[in-house]
Amino acid sequence: MTVSGVQADTARVRTHPSRSADPTVAGVTVRGGVELAYEVYDAAPGAPTVMLVPTWAIVPSRFWKAQIGFLARHYRVVTFDGRGSGLSGRPLGAAAYTDVEYGDDIVAVLDATGTDRAVLVTESCGASWALHVAVKHPERVAGLLAIAPSCGLDVPTPGRDHVPFDEAVDSTRGWAKYNKHYWLGGGYDDFVDFFFGRMFPEPHSTKQVEDCIGWAHQLSPQTLADSTSGRLGCDGAVCEPLVPLARRVTCPVLVVHGTDDRIRPQAFGERLAELTGGDLVLLRDAGHAPSARDPVKVNHLIAQFVDRIHPRPPRTAWARAAARPKRALYLSSPIGLGHAQRDVAIAAELRARRPDLQIDWLAQHPVTRVLDQHGERVHPASAWLRNESGHIEHEAGEHDLHAFQTIRRMDEILVHNFMVFDEVVADGDYDLVVGDEAWDVDYFLHENPELKRFAFAWMTDFVGWLPMPDGGPREAALTADYNAEMIEHRARFARVRDRSVFVGDPDDVVEDDFGPGLPSVRSWTEQNFDFAGYVTGFDPAAVDDTERVRTSLGVGPDEKLCLVTVGGSGVGTSLLRRVMDVVPLVRRVAPELRFAFVTGPRIDPSSLPAHDGSTVLGYVPDLFRHLAACDVAVVQGGLTTTMELTALNKPFVYVPLRHHFEQNVHVRHRLDRYEAGRHLAYEEALDRDALAEAIVKEAGRDVRYRPVATDGAARAGAMLADLL
């Protein structure tokens, strides 16, 4: 289609499991021969539009990933890759990258997306481009929010201004790296590392730096040189003075600047606010990219600014504190179903001690399936959560899940889901929040402790990110950095958690160090956690329907049952197929063995073949009953299933996911302590004979593991009840 002389092509897009939101429409508009790739998030029809303006060619619109999901639930959101970045065109020459060109691109995307008027949100160089639009097209700009403006103002930048961009210099130290001759002469990588190190002065910014360096290598040094020359008025490009332009802005303006901005000092933000008559918010000790490093605060600031321009109806109901019923919000990790089963058991014990307590659950599939089964109330805002299991499955390979890196790459989902949580507790008057490995809530509450307005209990069955051996020094350094940040959080903001509950005993904690110069995991955990003991979610001695289960699976009185199950995510398909392949081989040696394969809620049972002597099941409620009915099991290395088998004294083979540090280190340590199960590496399981032999051998073994305590749920429930 053509809008205002601008050609545009649009198409609906597929969902992406690792993104915080999916665009309603993705399109490309062409202005002056340059393609501009844009996306529209229209999750809130009829709401005002927020455009997230490009920042600099060195990063694409993905830079705004921590904002998009949250904003799209409340507003119509438009993003686009600026010329020279992402999926947009890369014209040659400085003249193609002036502020005027970028400003006209903003108008072109507004036209192509049918946007009459928008609030423009900018970061860094984008402020200059938005100013051009706000002055030349005031009817199109409802407001301007400029984060860390880095634009052509009459403000000095000490240590940087003396270095020319377009002249060769002898030095390559510091800001001398910001030089087109250095970039084009082979110094681009060195500059990129330097620049983003300056951009994120905040400790523990490894993921943000890594993202930006990756994006910077999606364009050539020549493109970045052209885009910078155009902005600075080099190589024949003409720059329009910004100061007189800024004085002509009439729309509402909010400027946000970090006091530790090492790209452009806070004086830039102060000057822009002065020139435009706008408001100024200083973020103490923040750097040049708070939208990435402090996304929760920035998301709140954006929403407050937009709502000031387009007011939303205020909350109209309030109840006196003394008249409110006691309420708890329970968050159960969706990565596996084990958390859900134990959390239901703990919630029952909590209710037994506080009968007047109302419990809401903020949860995702497949946890919601367990909660529905037990008649629990799932908060309607759960529908807003972005599914973490989908991301996990997207990241997984053949029985391979690099758990640490997978969680790191889930960053935008975690921000999005925390923002959902934050809105729920803001309106819910909850007395207690329980987070069972709700990583987003624990992390961002420590980053934003002022948002805590309830008692908070954190639960986990492992402590410490640990590197896999083949990750080398880099992974060791990254895990140590994550651990150090957690230790610093707890030392500085002990008040955030009112109780830290470890699901297990002190001896279940590994003895490794958190990293060089950091304490041992066990000693630190003993000092910072209470221990509930393991929570099985059932009493092994009370399981009395094993014969009914065996009969339902067609297991005769002289036969044995081998149960194969891979948990609540979809990453276990490879192991299921591997065991299915050896069923004929096993039954030739041990014909009395029948197999039952449990796919769980996220694998389609019909997608898997079934050999003679085997049955394929889908989701099985109360899986522990099937575990109790089996004679041997083959499972992944997840803690819940392996510990349930341990409590039931069942022989089993467990095959941890490759690169899954929790299964390979934490869980294996605990199973070794209970002298439970037979560990089999997936590489060994690829050998059909070795896998078949392991199953047959375990099926004939009489086991006597160390006993598993059965009062863990009661102990955990009592710890939580003390907070009410």
Quote the CA–CA distance of 231 and 370 in Å, as a whole number.
56
Pair type for strands 118-123 and 49-52:
parallel
pTM: 0.96
d(CA 468, CA 716): 31
Compute CA distances 44 → 18, 117, 382, 426, 694, whole Å: 21, 16, 17, 20, 55
Cα–Cα distances (Å) from 392 to 254, 388, 389, 396, in that order, read 38, 6, 5, 6
The answer, yes or no, to whether the previous bond of 366 is cis (omega within 30 of 0) is yes
Backbone angles phi, psi at 646, to 5 degrees: -65, -45
What averages of pLDDT result for each successive group of 10 residues across the chain (724 residues)?
Answer: 46 74 96 97 90 97 98 97 97 96 98 97 97 98 97 91 92 96 97 98 98 97 96 88 95 98 97 98 98 98 97 85 95 86 96 97 93 96 94 92 95 98 95 97 98 97 96 97 98 98 98 97 98 93 91 93 89 93 95 94 86 89 93 96 96 97 97 97 96 96 94 97 97
Q: Which residue in 696, 646, 700, 644 sits closest to 675, CA to CA?
A: 646
CA distance 207 to 214: 11
Amino acid 196 reads: F
The position carrying tokens 């003396």 is 162
Exposed (0-12), middle (13-18) or buried (19+): which is 220, by Cβ within 10 Å? middle
- Secondary-structure percent of the chain, ordered helix, strand, coil, rounded to 5: 45, 15, 40
pLDDT of residue 69: 97
pLDDT of residue 13: 55
Return the pLDDT at 634: 97
User: In degrees, to the nearest 5, what angle opens at C-alpha 206 toward C-alphas 184 and 501?
Assistant: 170
Q: Measure the CA–CA gap between 648 and 656, rounded to whole angstroms.
A: 20
Residue 416's H or E segment, with its range, is helix 411-428
Contact 44, 74 (CB under 8 A): yes
Give residue 176's Cα distance to chain centre: 36
Predicted local confidence at residue 299, as pLDDT: 98
Task: Report the C-alpha gap between 218 and 557 in whole angstroms.
Answer: 64
Could you tell me which residues come within 8 angstroms of residue 548 by beta carbon, excluding any fewer than 6 positions away?
A: none
What is the maximum alpha-carbon separation in the chain? Answer: 91
**Closest to 533 measured CA to CA, from 348, 708, 346:** 708
Closest CA to 342 of 127, 641, 140, 79: 641
Question: Measuring CA to CA, which residue among 298, 285, 661, 217 is closest to residue 482?
Answer: 661
Q: Which H/E stretch holds residue 144? A: strand 141-147
Given its phi and psi angles, is residue 204 left (phi above 0), alpha (psi -120 to 50 degrees) or beta? left
DSSP state of 4: T
Pairing of strands 455-460, 358-362: unpaired
> Are the beta carbons of 723 and 432 closer than 8 angstroms?
yes
Q: Which is nearest to 628 in space by CA: 652, 611, 601?
A: 652
The Cβ of residue 174 has, within 10 Å, a number of other Cβ atoms equal to: 12
Q: Give the neighbor-by-neighbor strand order of the sheet with 455-460.
A: 377-378, 358-362, 327-332, 432-436, 455-460, 499-502, 530-531
Q: What is the pLDDT of residue 189?
A: 98
Which pairing describes strands 2-3 and 6-11: parallel, antiparallel, or unpaired? antiparallel
For the chain, what is the radius of gyration of the CA atoms? 29
Q: Give backbone dihedrals phi and psi of 603, rounded to 5 degrees, phi first.
A: -120, 130
CA distance 494 to 500: 10
Dihedral in degrees, nearest 10, Cα atoms 619, 620, 622, 626: -140
**Residue 283: both structure tokens together:** 């973020």
Choose among 187, 215, 205: nearest CA to 86.
Answer: 215
| Phi, psi (degrees; rounded to nearest 5) at 555 | -85, 120
Burial (CB count within 10 angstroms: exposed 0-12, middle 13-18, buried 19+), residue 528: middle
Strands 49-52 and 76-80: parallel
Supply angle C-alpha 99, 53, 203, rounded to 5.
110
Report in angstroms the alpha-carbon separations of 593 from 61, 614, 628, 633, 700.
56, 9, 16, 11, 11
Question: Interhelix angle for 472-492 vs 439-447, to 10°?
Answer: 60
